[in-house]
Structure 1
Amino acid sequence: MKLTRVLTKKLALFWLLSLSAVAVVFISSSLLSFFHLANNLQSKQVDELQSMLMEHRHQHTQWNLDDWLPPVLMSYNTVSFEVSKENKVLFRYQGNIQTRFFNEYQFSLDKNNSINVTLKLESPYIQHQISQFELILLLVTLGLIGLFTFYGYRWIENQLNGVEELAARGQMILEKRFDQALSEKGRGQPRIINHAMTLLLEELKDAHKERSRFDKYIRSNTFLDPDLGIGNRLYLKNRLAALSNEQGMLSNGVIYFLEMEDLDLLQQEEGEDAIRSFLTTCLSAIDIALQSQANSFVARRTFNQFAIVIPQLSLQEADTLAARILKICLRLPLPTSKRMDDFFHIGGAFFSVGDDSKSTLEEAEMALRAAQFQGNSSWFMYEKEFLIEDVRKGSVRWRSLLENAIEKQRFVAFVQKVIDIDQSTLYFEVFSRIKESKDSFIRASQYTAMAAKCGLMPQIDRLTIESLLRLHLSKKHSKQSQYCINLHVDSLLSESFRDWLTSFLNQQITYVPQLIFEVSEPVAVKHAAEINQVFALVSSLGAKISIDSVGQQVVGSQYLKEMKVNYVKLHRSIVRQIHLRPENQLFVRSLYGALYRTDAKIIAEGVEVFEEWQTLRVLGVSAGQGLLFSDLCALS
């Protein structure tokens, strides 16, 4: 059978089914309407009967239902009728209608519900029969559907003549006979599809010639880190998959996460070659320590974090090996003259047979954070029995400290100037710290992580905003200055905080134009919907918008235009030694071009030397912030 006949039959069947479905829907809707109207009509009749009974009862001291009620019930097609008072039957009527289809109604004739009525009526639609007119209308409709389908079948058959040749060529492509399909161009229809197939087959032939050269490149770069030549994140995932199945891990072992703090900043200072050489030396020393461990491997998870997986290892050996790896790392000379005591951190998680690989990675991450909380270079092993309790206790201590600081309002605001190219103050950025003693403060970078873990960041941001507006902006000397407040992601995602912010800014509407609300670029990109909602609110009230940490991640710049930001702040890793780094200069130029024809100003964060500031001004940066201009000072 020709393909056209197959296609036309399928299309005709589709039309027929579609029209039949439409007909079924209309008929069903009509039936439902009929049933609904019939039931409503019967319900109204029941209401009328109830009204008649209640009126008769109020007008007559004694009921005489036998005189007038039976004829009424007969006209209602009543199956049965019964009036009872306190389970005693006062009146009963049994109709001559015998049916299984009836509707039962129950109602009361007084307020105390002492006189109850049970009424059974024949279904209102049980005796309805299809009329001759309805039958003719149904047959005409079915005939029109059939006629439409027949003529549609003939029309589509004429339209698809010649498509068999095109289908045969497509079959060759599906069977991967590309050369034969290219040689047999034919005259398939539609011609534009046939011509497109020819063009794609020619492009595919050319692509096959290039494919062999890329195969080796892809294989060598898909699973390897391009800088160090070790496994990357995908390689780690595949190796862990090989060590486990659906039931979990196949053997005992350990996973270490080795993280090097501020490695990106160190690279900015010492250069990529020095860091690459240092990492190569470090990994070589670790490989020597792992030579006795069969099937062990090292992979790079992020720029400054490495995973070390060692199967067939006991828990005691895992502790010893973690201390040994840390000792090896501490012996290595860092590529910097500065002393960095808080550089290496190792978190380990021991896994046994049946453990889930994803859970093990999360445990290793928790252990790494625990090692970082200890301070200095250290290692920490995750132990399911003890670590959770230890972390819980640590969280309790932090929560007590933070809640006490919130209750006693021990948060002190510090500010740092942002200087424009004319050396005048553009605005002040606000930093919040916890006052421990007279000259001792806890920085935001130290308590933010635990405050977020305890769910207290919305309260802290709220306290900062209230303190700034009520205690500082009300002063005369502060009425001309602008202040930038960085909002945490937890605050932005909190509906209660957004409601409070709306109410509070409306109350302090006079000072809102002096405020700048700032979020980091990763937060703005990941939570665009919520951020846009908050930004639209504060912008409508007169406040300005700022995005910081721009350039820390590789993301597009379109979101900056969509959010209509006023300030774009470069991450300090872009600013550091920018006069010596053409690639960072290229990034700033591209960002400047992306913000063309917008009102957004580019601000550089972390400017420390004059050469950096000079280069940034040439690149079009509008303002700078850092130690070159001013240090932090308490907000008076």
Structure 2
Amino acid sequence: MSLHKKLWLAIIGLLLIVFSGSFLVTTLSAKSYLQQQISMKNADNAAALALSLTQQGADEVLLELTLSAQFDTGFYELIELRAPDGKLMILRQDNQPATGAPGWFMSLFPINAEDGVANVQEGWQQVGTLTLRSHSKFAYERLWQSTQLLLLIFLAAMIVSGFVGGQVLKRILKPLDDVVEQAQAIGNRRFITIPEPSTLEFRQVVSAMNEMSGRIKQVLSSEAKRLQKWQRDAHVDKVTGLNNREPFMKSIEAALESDDVNATGSLSLVRLAGLAQMNQLYGRANMDAVLHEIGKELNRIVMQHSRWAASRLNGSDFAILAPRAMDPREAAEQMQGSIRAVLENHSMDKGVLLPAATTIYKHGDTIGSIMTRLDGALLSNEREGESAISIAYDGDIQMQPVRQQMDHWRGVLVESFRKHNFTLDYFPVIGLNQELVHYEAPARLNWQGDKLSAGQFLPWVNRLQMSLELDKEVVDLALRAIETTGYPTAVNLSVASVVEPGYLSWIGERLTSKKEAAKNLWLEVPEAMAFRHLENFKHLCKRVTASGCKIGIEHVGHQLSDLGNISDIGVDFLKIDASFVRDIDNNVANQTLLRTLCTVGHSIGVKVYAEGVRTNEEWATLQELGADGATGPGISLPE
């Protein structure tokens, strides 16, 4: 029972006690007063009537007429006259039961008034003894009316006090609502803080909870900074601040094996020709400063796009991985322009060549094939002494113009949404005991007899701004599958589900209409989108978790500095990006990174899963590091 109900019951009980006490005191006092008044009236009326009878003489006819006339007034229950020897001379009695009040009331509060007694004389001789008893029905009626009036006053007072008390109670307990909301948020892994109320007891509770939330945020922020430092020390070139070759190659490999919007994009190389000669001419310290500025400019480019990455592959070669970029020249031109601008600022651009090569990669390509065609195009440019940008096509097959491809894919997707050609594939996520955690369910497109992977059509869905429609489609597919199989199922959401206001109400209605299925639905949002639109993501988390659905962040590890923000989001799980999982059994730096990441997640009750696990050795190492589960090509359910 809630505190509000208990307080109201206490107030009602208190009012009932007050009413009962008031009722008893008032009614008993009124009964005593009426009883006394009736007794006095009986005595007075008996004396007056006896005096009147004395004046009548001893004539029995006159006595009986006088007594009958008095009794007929209806105010008396009993009038009798007895001779001195006790013989009944005249009797007038009303044997009808008293009315004017309920029987239970008269039984509960009986009125026992004393009879009026007086002697009737004839001269000095006693004629008889007169006994008179007034009717008590009038007293009961009056007592009952006063009791009803008291009850009405009490009810009116209860209504008024209930309204006023309700407003006062609402104001007093307003801080309690905030405390309850904070407690519920903490239970949902959202460690929020609220203003401390003025009420002492509430203030003590809120202060303790705020202190706990603040301490957790501080710990997470501190751990996020440590993780970022470790990542920079292990993965970042100290001169330029760009990724080293090894982690960059792992990012390319993860992109090629991914099955989402990042599975297609461009990879661009720019070579700073003659770097060795420039070191001799300008000095290594000066050139290191120039390379540092070049690194800052390239990082500025990639920071404008989610999941883009820049690297210094070797002394003079720079690269940018640009997922979702359909124009291969875009990143290469930005790289050339930024490097040229830095050299011009230092008056070092004269005679310096910046040959570049770029290509489109797609799901299923290999790093070897991509780098081979890029190196060939770059070498050809450098030999010709040019700063041109060569586009390295796969197998010398010229790509269709982007506009033509967009028109083609727009027709494909419009018809596919209309005919609901989308399906889901299922890949297990297993726990530490080889049990099923849930199925990852990437979208597939059935088109002209072929099943297209997400990596083939998602870039065009994103480019044509149809992501919201696809998010709705995959949620509906997952809910229907859960209703059929009962298996927990995870689907990926795009940035549209986070930023579009209409999606929040749509998914709320969907989950409410399918309450049982919603409990087995898992939703995943990419790390870059979750942290870039943090407030909107919090609203999405709050809405879907209210229906029992689980929500988490996938591809975690690229924005470790933002990890402290998960303290008040309320996510259920994190999925570590495959680029950090690759060869984890032989990568000490990434082992330290993932061990700390798992510890941070567990400290706030968040499960941590690994993506892209390929070997048993990787899975065994991840278990030692504290991962709660894994998915990938090397993961399967036991038969």
If the length of structure 1 is used for normalisation, what is the TM-score? 0.44
The higher relative CO (CA closer than 8 Å, separation ≥ 6) is in: 2
Q: Could you say which structure has the larger radius of gyration? A: 2
